[in-house]
Structure 1
Amino acid sequence: MTHTRRRLFGLALASLALSACTTAPPAAAPQAPKLLVLVVIDGLPMRQVTGYRDQLAPDGFARFLDRGRWFADAHYGHGHTVTAAGHAVMLSGAYPQRSGIISNEWRDPATGAPVYNTGDADYQYIDSPTAPLSGTSPRNLKVETLGDVLRTRSPQSKVIGISGKDRGAILPAGHKGTAYMYMTETGRFASSTYYMQRHPQWVTDFNAAKPADAFFKKTWTPLLPEAAYAHSVPDGQSWQIASGNGNRLPAVIGDKMDGPGPRYYSNLLATPFGDELTLAFARAAVTNEKLGQRGVQDILSVSLSSHDYINHAFGPESRLSHDHLLQLDRHLQAFFQFLDSQVGAGNYVMALTADHGFTDTPEWAATQGRDAGRFASSPSLAVVNAALSAKFGVDKLARDFSAAGLLLNDTLAAERGLKLADVQAAARDALLKLPGVAAVFTREQLLGSDTTTPYLAAMRKSFDPARAAQLQIVLKPNWIFSYRPGGSTHGSPYTYDTHVPLLFWGPGYVGQGEVKAHVEVADLAPTLAAIAGLPAPAQSQGRDLKLRP
């Protein structure tokens, strides 16, 4: 499809949507917004927002792009760009080097035991099973969030985090907020005993209605005619994961299943219906908790997880990802108009961002002439240990890969009389010989002050010396850490993983227009703090972007 024809599709859709809904003019802005709303689209690179701009609805993403303030060059400053690390930065302004949330999971440097970013065995999910390493509290988060600042000053204020993932709800909610997350075993939303002993009645009622079951056997059908997806990679590619709901549209959710169950509830997240369900729960929270409607300031964080699952399975270049973004856009439009009605369009400020971008699927990138590939952890670990054994005569000096690094067994090395620096150097040399490895940084480099070596500063921001592995790895562009033969991921310091949306809307608070200057997502927390009349979180490394019109 030509650009002109694609533009006509977008204009036609915009005309239909505008005729179907009207938005009342916003009231005059009060001194401070009654509600701060953070919308997170998990795994959304900025290139997808701008790339499909002519196909957007008039009041979803376009609310920010056409009538809000948005930053065209917003990036994460840390190098290991994963879900937990990004969600920890957003409302704290603190990079992993301060927040301690270095990854989704890592290994304890002293013991090698697995650690989950929001895992806390002292607490359990309410009315839902709690597996080992489940995310139940913010204990591992070392810093305060904007919600913590607000509730310290105003204990009657409410801070609520909602997400399809535990980390997407818990980390933005901070230590003093309340988190609700989707349970893939039951299709319910649940909090944990860190926050309360039993759910409010509205949560019980929401779950009792079994809203997730309403999507059973529902079909995910492309939103636009086939020609509108001409620049996206077609369905059914060999590298697209076919488990779950398959890798072609239309797709029947729950196909060949007798009824809703754990597999169906899990598969639901990798569809537009996962976002629809999460936003339904967010509406219930706004209505029943009266967020922004009680004479005090509140914060709502809603992290939508489906785009990340879809990009992992099919790649951001796929038609499935393209269509999902358009479906999500329509769901956002309805949610924003709900907020206008429930809270008042002049009474809240909204920010939209993502926790990371996404790498194109390596197999697809290779067809475009790029050097791309998959770095497999298990065989790579074996190669490194073989090299260390040959040099030092000691087996298994490398424990495992941990977050973005290789964790060495310092205790074993010391017991055998080896110098730790020598083991690090040998392991680094072995890693650099592996296909796809661009750079390996030692603990000494990460704790140093060198600002000229490429990617070292970014990896330093991901490095908490108490939690991170001694050696931090950067793969070559278009290479990914991978545990399966298909799909894609993220986690690098490259632009495709760091460049995300940073969009604001709020009449009277944030102004309008595109800003081309380079900014960082760490700037979000101090910027929202200034709008709300609050001090920035204590460990914030960002700056106020001064959005007031």
Structure 2
Amino acid sequence: MKKHILFLTFFTILISGCKVQEVKQETTSAKPKLVVGIVIDQMRYDYLRRFSNRYSDDGFKRLLNNGFSLENAHYNYIPTYTAVGHTSIYTGTTPSNHGIISNNWYDKFLKKSIYCVDDSNYKTIGNESSTGKKSPVRMQTTTVTDQLHLAQNMNGKTIGIAIKDRSAILPAGHTANGAYWFDGGKNGEWVSSSFYMENLPKWVLDFNKSGKADSYLKTPWNTLYDINTYTNSIVDDNIFEGKFTGETTTSFPHDIPNLKEKNGGFNIIKAIPAGNSFTADFTKAAIIGENLGKSNYTDFLAVSFSSTDYVGHQFGPASKEIEDTYLRLDKDLADLLSFLDQQVGQNNYTVFLTADHAAVDVPSYLQSLKIPAHYLSFSKFKKAALEITKKYFNSIELIENISNYQIFLDKDKIESLGLDKNVVAEKLVEEVINFDGIYKAVSAKTMQTSNFTSGILNSLQNGYNQKFSGDVLLIPYPATLTGGRTGTSHGSGYSYDTHIPVIFYGNGIKKGVSKKSYEIIDIAPTISNLLQIEAPNSSTGKIIDEALK
């Protein structure tokens, strides 16, 4: 009898323990109340490591130490531009499918250059400017944010925030409750489009009236710490950096109050680290104002920190300005994560952090170190291309447009002369390769009839959209830019532009690190799997299962 009682007691304890464990598993595997996608504009992967000795434990290091980091994640297409990057992150596919082939591109149907999110069917919400005539209409696929709305029968909220309009609009998708961007100049206000709403919410109006933007422009931009301790960057005053209009030197401090009017008024906040702090302030206001993470549904907040890109373009990756910008951004991230802990609950949200592209070291700086680097003149290239068509086809009217390292042919003119567009395109491919600075050239027909499975031509193919792209596609030498010899840019398929951080953190995410090869298009299907929803409708990425609990 005693043995029987002991057995029943043991069995009861065993069952109870199993139930406790089951409850615990259910608690930890519950979907997050809020997903926060953070995109840092122009962040190279090496910034995570280069400045790590000065990062706090609560910003980048918190994500790295308690989240899952991909050390070998890359963009897998060309061109690596802002609009394309944000779209690819959230659609889980490349320009070949989603249709955003650049920031601006030549529309061969409209016969003019277009901007990725311009849409005259809508008006600005927030003021009388034209900065809100925008929508995501040119994005041909759904986003993970769209799919979350669909899965929840349009319940839950999706909000997009960025200083840049394209960085707010494209991630938020077609079904967003709101996307907000900064209208600088004389206005200094966050605005939206009638695509989303008829009036700005009260919390946005209150934020715009708060004087936050002006408060960030009242003091000079000096280094956060003693500049002599900034050992991860080159000398402050150098010939490789650009200046603000009105400056005589590139050195700290930058007198922002006195530079404001000569540099676009409130637009100058975009080009200094304060722009990131300002974005974080607005993000926190959105979380409170929209009650994100408080309902029975999962909300999605897509945030892009854009000022890193402006600083990078002007000063370059090796500058003290970039070092200071990332040390300050680390503090902004720490503050935002702490706010999420308090407002949403530490176990109730999931974050992913990545970048829309990286950047090359300033080519003139590389040249000073005897590292191969180049500057390409598009005006000279255009002249050379016209000489080719004149020589072989006796016409300088066969090329309609040259932009984004693509040649668009005038098909009507070619046909009127009894020529074959494929013959013209292939002859250009054969000849432009002889132009100094062009490393590879491929025709649209080759893109359509060949399958490049690896390397930079695979990236070119992933970025080629049969409907929208040009007839000849070009790849310059590594470390090649157009324009002036100060500051940097991006857009290539080389590793300096493609290697970016990808970190997952929070609800449903393991702690760890992976050195496996992953692509930027893998983020959306991974988040979709975490949320147990359908991936975006043209997704070609894979689930990063080793990051998920």
Q: Do they superpose with TM above 0.5? A: yes
- Tell me the SS of whatever aligns to 1:80: coil
Could you tell me how far apart the structure 1 residues matched to 2:358 and 2:83 are?
13
- Counterpart contact for 2:122–2:133, Cα < 8 Å: no
Question: Shift in Å at residue 216 of structure 1?
Answer: 2.2
**Is 244-253 or 320-329 further displaced after alignment?**
244-253
Aligned-partner residue type, residue 337 of structure 1: S
- Tell me the SS of whatever aligns to 1:139: coil
- Counterpart contact for 1:32–1:531, Cα < 8 Å: yes
Counterpart in the other structure of 2:439? 438
Could you tell me how far apart the structure 2 residues matched to 1:354 and 1:244 are?
28
- Counterpart contact for 2:160–2:169, Cα < 8 Å: yes
Counterpart in the other structure of 2:254? 251
- Tell me the SS of whatever aligns to 2:118: coil
- Tell me the SS of whatever aligns to 1:251: coil
- Counterpart contact for 2:94–2:521, Cα < 8 Å: yes
Counterpart in the other structure of 1:368? 369
1:228/1:115 Cα in 2 relative to 1: closer, same or farther (>3 Å)? Answer: same
Question: Shift in Å at residue 84 of structure 1?
Answer: 0.6
CA RMSD of aligned residues (A): 1.9
Could you tell me how far apart the structure 1 residues matched to 2:163 and 2:375 are?
27
- Tell me the SS of whatever aligns to 1:401: strand
Counterpart in the other structure of 1:319? 320
Aligned-partner residue type, residue 525 of structure 1: A
| Cα deviation 1:67-125 (Å, max 9, x = unaligned) | 11100001111121110111001111011100000110100124531111111111122
Counterpart in the other structure of 1:280? 281
Counterpart in the other structure of 1:188? 189
Aligned-partner residue type, residue 548 of structure 2: R
- Counterpart contact for 1:144–1:538, Cα < 8 Å: yes
- Tell me the SS of whatever aligns to 2:342: helix
- Is 2:540 aligned against 1:548? no
**Is 398-407 or 368-377 further displaced after alignment?**
398-407
Counterpart in the other structure of 2:503? 503
Question: Shift in Å at residue 456 of structure 1?
Answer: 1.4
Question: Shift in Å at residue 286 of structure 1?
Answer: 0.2
1:324/1:422 Cα in 2 relative to 1: closer, same or farther (>3 Å)? Answer: same
Counterpart in the other structure of 2:523? 524
| Cα deviation 1:331-361 (Å, max 9, x = unaligned) | 1111110111100110000000000010111
Question: Shift in Å at residue 431 of structure 1?
Answer: 2.3
Within the candidate set 126, 143, 146, 2:144 is matched to 146
Question: Shift in Å at residue 129 of structure 1?
Answer: 4.7
Could you tell me how far apart the structure 2 residues matched to 1:147 and 1:60 are?
25
Q: Structure 1: which 5+ residue stretches go unaligned?
A: 1-26
1:28/1:229 Cα in 2 relative to 1: closer, same or farther (>3 Å)? Answer: farther
Structure number with larger C-alpha Rg: 2
- Counterpart contact for 1:245–1:251, Cα < 8 Å: no
Could you tell me how far apart the structure 1 residues matched to 2:211 and 2:163 are?
16
**Is 231-240 or 303-312 further displaced after alignment?**
231-240
Could you tell me how far apart the structure 1 residues matched to 2:432 and 2:163 are?
36
Q: TM-score, normalised by structure 2?
A: 0.91
- Counterpart contact for 2:442–2:472, Cα < 8 Å: yes
**Is 417-426 or 39-48 further displaced after alignment?**
417-426
Could you tell me how far apart the structure 2 residues matched to 1:529 and 1:116 are?
29
- Tell me the SS of whatever aligns to 1:266: helix
Summarize the alignment of residues 299-378 of structure 1 with structure 2, pairs less than 5 Å apart.
299-378=300-379
Question: Shift in Å at residue 135 of structure 1?
Answer: 6.2
Counterpart in the other structure of 2:271? 270
- Counterpart contact for 1:381–1:398, Cα < 8 Å: no
Could you tell me how far apart the structure 2 residues matched to 1:93 and 1:345 are?
27
Could you tell me how far apart the structure 2 residues matched to 1:264 and 1:429 are?
48
% identity of equivalent residues? 30
Could you tell me how far apart the structure 1 residues matched to 2:297 and 2:162 are?
24
Aligned-partner residue type, residue 97 of structure 1: S
Counterpart in the other structure of 1:533? 532
Could you tell me how far apart the structure 1 residues matched to 2:228 and 2:236 are?
14
1:308/1:393 Cα in 2 relative to 1: closer, same or farther (>3 Å)? Answer: same
| Cα deviation 1:409-449 (Å, max 9, x = unaligned) | 22211112222122112322342122211101110111123
